[in-house]
Structure 1
Amino acid sequence: MDGVRGPRVALVTESFDPRLSGTAGTVRQVANRLAETGYDVRVLTSGAGPAAYHAAEVLRFGPPRRSHQIHRALEAYAPDLVHVFTPGPVGAKALRQAARLGIPTLVTETSARAEFAPPQWQHKVADATDRLTVTAAWLRDRLADAGLDSGIWSPGVDTDVFHPDRRNPALRAIWTDGDLTQVAVGYVGSLRKRHGVRRLAEVASVPGTRLVVVGDGPQQAWLRERLPASVRFTGALKPRQAAAAIASLDVLVQPGTRTTCAHALREAAACAVPVVAPRAGGALDVVEHLGTGVLYDPETPLALADAVAAVVADPHRHLLGQHARARISRRTWAVAVDELVSEHYSVLPGSSASQVA
């Protein structure tokens, strides 16, 4: 850059390092790619943590005088764009202060809370930003039904971290007690009721399988109480640990019908692991039925168990994983973030954030 600064982008998120949430991971990847391509990046977030992420300064805000602090931070940084991910207390205030300072704004909504466009969300988010993007086609369609215009931006996946070579036979042997006839079927994600995790009881009943649950959350006690003792619970894992766990599975299941980013499905595909998911939510954007996995009708009782049983019984199921890897490899984070810039940063009135100096 020879001393010429690139466009300044303030990334605003409620969740960032050291947290391991899907949103935090997405923002890290966006920050990485923007910096690689010449952008000057600053992160505004809440919670304790490091004051820097690689070359980006990280500003953290607590509740006292948060609006005033955010106003001063944006005024001092003078970004070309304020990009807010799933606005909460920090994000909503950043949108309001950016408007007062005349800074263009973009919101990327990564949660399903906007499904029915509740008035408070519409007022604080949809009506407060210059442009709104969501990460799943079904959510864009729901917002359109409510009269709200939104763009769609699909996340990427780290195909180096999530790779078939991460498969660990020793780990799989632990899960199956060394029984090579057993198929390791796993769920990866937060253990929340809205994610459909109670349907994992169906999966645990499929003969010839060992269920592995990767993640934690409020439903863990319910699951531990009702699932067989053979089910393995790993708890929450860091990205590289999660990559090894996913790659060591034979099949991944995702029962949630309102997924948005569908990170676990993308990561399984990158690890060449076939998936079973509902014909609903973010799975429709990621899974090609009978091409990279199997989609089942979530309204049909025991359809999940039947779909898992069919994949488990298929001696050629590895081909689904191979096709999934080939397909998802075209959606790296570099590709995804470059598309974000070209299709969404560029259309913002008054913003120079799509023009790298």
Structure 2
Amino acid sequence: MKIAVVNWRDPWHPQAGGAETFAWELARRFARAGHTVCFVTARAPGQSRHESVEGVRFVRMGGVFTVYPLVLGWLLLRRGRFDAVLDCQNGIPFFTPWVLRRRTRVLCVVHHVHDRQFGVHMPGWLAAVGRFLEGPVSRWSYRRHESVAVSPSTVLAMRERLGWTGPVHIVPNGVPEPTVPGEPDAPGGDAKGGVPRLVCLGRLVAHKRVHLLLDAVAELRKRWPGLVVDVIGRGPEEAALRERLPEGVTLHGYLPEEDKARLVARAWLHVSASQGEGWGLSVLEAAALGVPTVAFDVDGLRDAVRHGETGWLLPEGTDLAKGIGAALDELDHTYTVKCREWAGRFSWDRSADRLIALMHGRDPGPAPGLDPAPDSGHGGEVR
């Protein structure tokens, strides 16, 4: 097939995150399987307009907002060229059905519903526009097309908060192969040096609420004076976070994959204070290295973390320092084992196969590794 993957950014964009990882990992597997793949995206300063990587052709144009009309114009001129289009929603989708032929199979990929986050990142009037585009306009534009969500939480949010009525299939994130060996014989934290180490992995943006972890450090260090926190990632909140770093916290910024994996593997716990995710790719990355996660019980993270098995889910509003402290007290080697078992259920190869089946019009069946997605009764198949 000839496939277009349309995503807001590519994985080398300075603000790339989990959505970019999802789009790229699948695109490269499509190409490896013999399909012709074009990755259409925005262009960051210094990036080339055209290049090919691992058999995937990249076409870059426009910035944060201008990428949307420019991509629609680009597709309109090539409306008969593609057999299938992955239209990835990052707040709002690209509305590709407006310019493509009806016979082109369009799959709208939704990582998570952004309605509550628009107000965190945008002024009021622009947030209202974002919610209108994400809700009524998207619902109408994709009414004849199937959609893809990355987790049961996202399916439920699409049904209840966006009023989505069409078929929604779950295609979960995969897990990269761990590049650093874990500690298979570690009986809890003792084998990791005797000093608790926490790690926070992800983009430094407002809704990730990394500041809540920084606020918890002083209280935690009263009991564990040598406690260390490693924050890995970059983003617009980086400068503000650096100005308030407490003792024991290191903000690493971007790290190459092997360095990142090595640092995560040393941690006793991975901590996410996010107010909501589509899934929480960092949770599985940590789990693959045997590191459990402490997170709030919010969309996406309640799917990626199995409470009492691969980590701990805290009710929203819980004191994060107390939650982390309780997890450190309970931590033992069984969490390491269960984390690796849980992460082993997910594979980018299997996710790519599910999407290829959908592009061919076939039912991919239930998503492996996940419980069935809830359906609020608005109609449409949920698999």
Bin for the TM-score computed over the shorter chain: 0.7 to 0.9
Which residue of 268, 285, 296 corresponds with 1:278? 296
Q: TM-score, normalised on structure 2?
A: 0.75
Report the CA distance shift for 1:325/1:203 in structure 2 as closer, same or farther (over 3 A): farther
* Alignment match, 1:180: 193
Q: Structure 2: how far apart are the matches of 1:223 and 1:61? A: 31
Is the partner of 1:226 in helix, strand or coil?
coil
Deviation of the 1:298 alpha carbon: 1.8
* Alignment match, 2:135: 122
* Alignment match, 1:108: 109
* Alignment match, 1:210: 228
Q: Is the 1:262–1:283 contact (alpha carbons within 8 Å) kept by the matching residues of 2?
A: yes
Deviation of the 1:143 alpha carbon: 2.2
Which residue of 341, 349, 356 corresponds with 1:341? 356
Q: Which amino acid aligns with 2:12?
A: P
* Alignment match, 2:211: 198
Report the CA distance shift for 1:41/1:221 in structure 2 as closer, same or farther (over 3 A): closer
What pairs up with 1:204-353 in 2 under 5 angstroms?
204=217, 205-206=219-220, 207-208=223-224, 209-300=227-318, 302=319, 304-314=320-330, 316-342=331-357, 344-347=358-361
What pairs up with 1:110-189 in 2 under 5 angstroms?
110-114=111-115, 118-129=131-142, 130-146=145-161, 147-149=163-165, 150-158=168-176, 160=177, 162-165=178-181, 180-189=193-202
Q: Structure 2: how far apart are the matches of 1:114 and 1:199? A: 22
Q: Structure 1: how far apart are the matches of 2:270 and 2:57? A: 37
Deviation of the 1:264 alpha carbon: 0.6
Deviation of the 1:263 alpha carbon: 0.8
* Alignment match, 1:84: 87
Q: Structure 1: how far apart are the matches of 2:99 and 2:116? A: 26
Q: Structure 2: how far apart are the matches of 1:233 and 1:251? A: 16
Report the CA distance shift for 1:114/1:210 in structure 2 as closer, same or farther (over 3 A): same
Bigger mean CA offset, 108-117 vs 187-196: 108-117
Report the CA distance shift for 1:223/1:326 in structure 2 as closer, same or farther (over 3 A): same
Report the CA distance shift for 1:246/1:333 in structure 2 as closer, same or farther (over 3 A): same
* Count of aligned residue pairs for this structure pair: 322
Q: Is the 2:199–2:232 contact (alpha carbons within 8 Å) kept by the matching residues of 1?
A: yes
Which residue of 33, 36, 41 corresponds with 1:37? 33
* Alignment match, 1:70: 75
Q: Which amino acid aligns with 1:213?
A: V
Q: TM-score, normalised on structure 1?
A: 0.81
Deviation of the 1:136 alpha carbon: 2.9
Q: Structure 2: how far apart are the matches of 1:294 and 1:164? A: 24
Structure 1 gap segments, 5+ residues each: 1-6, 168-178, 350-357
RMSD: 2.8
Is the partner of 2:85 in helix, strand or coil?
strand
Q: Is the 1:134–1:152 contact (alpha carbons within 8 Å) kept by the matching residues of 2?
A: yes
Deviation of the 1:271 alpha carbon: 0.9
Q: Which amino acid aligns with 2:30?
A: L
Percent of aligned pairs sharing the same letter: 20
Structure 2 gap segments, 5+ residues each: 118-129, 184-191, 364-383
Q: Is the 1:265–1:286 contact (alpha carbons within 8 Å) kept by the matching residues of 2?
A: yes
* Alignment match, 1:354: none
Deviation of the 1:340 alpha carbon: 2.9
Is the partner of 2:181 in helix, strand or coil?
helix
Deviation of the 1:55 alpha carbon: 1.1
Report the CA distance shift for 1:88/1:288 in structure 2 as closer, same or farther (over 3 A): closer
Deviation of the 1:43 alpha carbon: 1.4
